[in-house]
Structure formats: structure tokens, C-alpha cells
Amino acid sequence: MKLGAFSVSLSVKDLEASKTFYEKLGFNKLGGDEKMNYLIMKNGETVIGLFQGMFEGNILTFNPGWNQSAEPLESFDDVRVLQKQIMEKEIALTKEADANTSGPESIMLTDPDGNVILIDQHV
């Protein structure tokens, strides 16, 4: 099962303060839009998302179809294929993808400790 690029999506109280903090740790802006209350930051191969007012708690995020620099991959496991594989393993989803579509879509699940996992395909 190829889940794609990995990042941690952090729910932050003050986007500018968080941006400044992570810049001091060597992270640089990779994407996002401060006017839309989110930034994607990168340090080496490590990617974090900073999200203000969008969700509660932190989320483990996988992006099928992307490498760690958010560049499209030629070959990847579509989120609908991943959904089928996950469901076959009897893991419950909290959000399912429409299996009759193609392109961007997402699914969500929660691990045994309550950690939310988002598999978010952008291509």
C-alpha cells in the first residue's frame, strides 16, 4: 500500500507566530496561503502544515500522487484503491471517497489511540 508523501498537519492558534517559530527551526515555506490561514513548510524531507482555525487537533496526512516536494508522481495508488484495501482489512473509515469518481478525493480514519489520519489526493 503506497500512501504517498507524508506530513503532519498542525492546528495552530496563531499562524504568524507558528511560522516564525518553525522558520527558526530551519523550515521554509513550500506552499499555502497566509490569507487562507494555512502554510505548508519544509525542512529537508520533513513537511508540516500549519492550519489556523480549520480543524481541532493534529492530523497525520498522506498525499497519494505526490513526492515530499508536492510534485506529481507518474505512478501511484489512487485514493479509491487505497480505500478498498483499507476496508478489506476491516479498518473503519470516518470519511469515504466516492468510488465512482476520479481525480482529487480524500478519506479519513482514526488509529486505536484517536489519532486522525487523512489520505488526501490532490491529483
The percent helix, strand, coil of the chain (3-state, each to 5) is 20, 40, 45
DSSP 108: E
Number of domains composing the chain:
1
**How far is it, in rounded angstroms, from Cα 49 to Cα 75?**
24
CATH of the domain at 80: 3.10.180.10
**How far is it, in rounded angstroms, from Cα 48 to Cα 32?**
11
List, for residues 6-55, the tens digit of each pLDDT value: 999 999 999 999 999 999 999 999 999 999 999 999 999 999 999 999 99
Domain hosting 47: range is 5-121
Confidence of residue 99 (pLDDT cuts 50, 70, 90): very high
Q: What is the pLDDT, as a whole number, of residue 103?
A: 96
Q: In percent, how much of the chain has pLDDT > 70?
A: 100
DSSP 84: H
List, for residues 16-28, the tens digit of each pLDDT value: 999 999 999 999 9
Average pLDDT over residues 66-71: 94
For the record, the C-alpha cell of 92 comes out as 473503519
Backbone angles phi, psi at 7, to 5 degrees: -150, 165
Backbone angles phi, psi at 43, to 5 degrees: -135, 105
